[in-house]
Amino acid sequence: MAELERGGRGFTIVEVLVAIVILSVGITALVMATGAVTRLLGGGHRAELGALLGARALERARQDACVPARRADGSETLTRGGALLARATWTFHDAGGRSVRARVIATVAVGANRALVDTLETAVICLT
């Protein structure tokens, strides 16, 4: 049989084990980061839905502010599969003179018993 040379090519078992441990730690960190990114993207999508719902409600409130027959407080909800995703509630307030203030409160469900709330407000000057 051939005799093994000392100092020959190749890795020792200790070097291979250290490399496996380092690789395992790196892969574990990558998997954990992927889960966090997925959760953040989902939260961002829900916040975007709430912002769009709030902006739509505010635009509707601007159009209705100067028409007394259409100037009514209200709300709109966005659901998926029976679960509440977002809600927009709008109110009108007389600001004196020909001015009406419209306020929209947008609420977005971001988790179990957690919500983001944003308030949008504008003043509309009625020319008629």
pLDDT in tens, 65-81: 888 888 889 988 888 88
Q: Please give the tally of structural domains in the chain.
A: 1
Q: Which domain holds residue 71?
A: 13-125
Residue 2 lies in a domain: no
Q: How far apart are CA 105 and CA 124, in angstroms?
A: 17
Predicted local distance difference test score (pLDDT) of residue 6: 61
Which residue, chain included where needed, has tokens 């000392």?
6
Residue 69 lies in a domain: yes
Predicted local distance difference test score (pLDDT) of residue 15: 92
Residue 38 lies in a domain: yes
pLDDT < 70 positions in the chain: 1-8
DSSP, res 67: -
Predicted local distance difference test score (pLDDT) of residue 84: 80
- Say what the pTM is: 0.63
Residue type at 93 in one-letter notation = H
Q: How far apart are CA 47 and CA 41, in angstroms?
A: 10
Mean pLDDT of the chain: 85
Residue 80 lies in a domain: yes
Residue 43 lies in a domain: yes
Residue 4 lies in a domain: no
Residue 105 lies in a domain: yes
